[in-house]
Chain A
Amino acid sequence: MRGFMRNAFAMIELEMRRLKHDRTELYSRAVQPILWIAVFGPIMGSVRAIPTGGIPYTDYITPGALIQSTTFVSIFYGLTIVWERESGILKKLLVAPASRYSIVIGRAMASGVRAIFQALIIIPVALLMGVRFTPSVLNFILALLVIFVSSGGFAATSILVASFMKTRERFMGIGQALTMPLFFASNALYPVAMMPEIMQWIAHFNPMSYVVDAVRSLMITGNLANLPIDLAAIFIFDAVMFVVASINFRRIIE
Chain B
Amino acid sequence: MKTVGLTKIYGGRIKALDGVDLNVESGKVFALLGPNGAGKTTLMRILTTQIKPTSGEAYVFGLSVVREGAKVREMVSYVPQEMSVWTDISGYENLLIYAKIYGIPPSRRNKLIWEALENMGLSEFANNLVKTYSGGMIRRLECACALLTRPKILFLDEPTIGLDPSARKAVWERLSIFRKENGATIFFNTHYMDEADLYADEIAIINRGRIVALGTPESLKHSLGGEIISLEVEDSAFGSKVLEAIKGLDVVSDIIMGGNEVNIVSRDAEHSLPEIMDILRLNGVSVRRVSITKPTLDDVFLKYAGVRLEPVAAGRISEVRHVRSMIRRG
Contacts and interface: CB of A to CB of B under 8 A. Distances in A.
B127 to A, nearest CB: 11
Contacts of A254: 51
A94 B50 contact: yes
Contacts of A18: 86, 88-89
B98 A96 contact: yes
23 contacts: A3-B103, A6-B103, A7-B101, A10-B101, A14-B86, A14-B89, A17-B89, A17-B93, A21-B89, A21-B90, A87-B84, A87-B326, A87-B329, A88-B82, A91-B50, A91-B80, A92-B79, A92-B80, A95-B49, A95-B50, A95-B78, A96-B98, A253-B51
> Which of A9, A13, A86, A87 has the most chain B CB atoms closer than 10 A to its own CB?
A87
Interface string B79-116: 11111111011100100111011110000000000000
Interface of B: 45, 48-51, 70, 73-74, 76-86, 88-90, 93, 96-98, 100-103, 129, 145, 326, 329-330
B100 to A, nearest CB: 4
Contact of B97 (A3, A14, A91): A14
> Which of A7, A10, A17, A88 has the most chain B CB atoms closer than 10 A to its own CB?
A88
B88 A22 contact: yes
B100 A10 contact: yes
Interface of A: 3, 6-7, 9-10, 13-14, 17-18, 21-22, 83, 86-89, 91-98, 253-254
A95 B78 CA distance: 7
A92 B90 CA distance: 18
Contacts of B50: 91, 94-95, 253
B88 A21 contact: yes
Given A10-B97, A13-B97, A97-B70, 5 more contacts: A3-B103, A91-B80, A95-B48, A96-B73, A98-B101
A97 B73 contact: yes
Contacts of B80: 88, 91-92
B88 A95 contact: no
Contacts of B78: 91-92, 95
A65 to B, nearest CB: 28
Given A91-B50, A254-B51, A96 B85 contact: no
Contact of A13 (B76, B100, B129): B100
A92 B97 contact: no
A6 B97 contact: no
Contacts of A89: 84-86
Nearest to A91: B80
A95 B93 contact: no
Nearest to A94: B50
A98 B102 CA distance: 8
Contacts of B82: 86-88, 91
A7 B99 CA distance: 10
A185 to B, nearest CB: 33
A86 B206 CA distance: 25
Given A86-B329, A87-B84, A88-B81, A95 B89 contact: no
Contact of B145 (A13, A22, A92, A94): A92
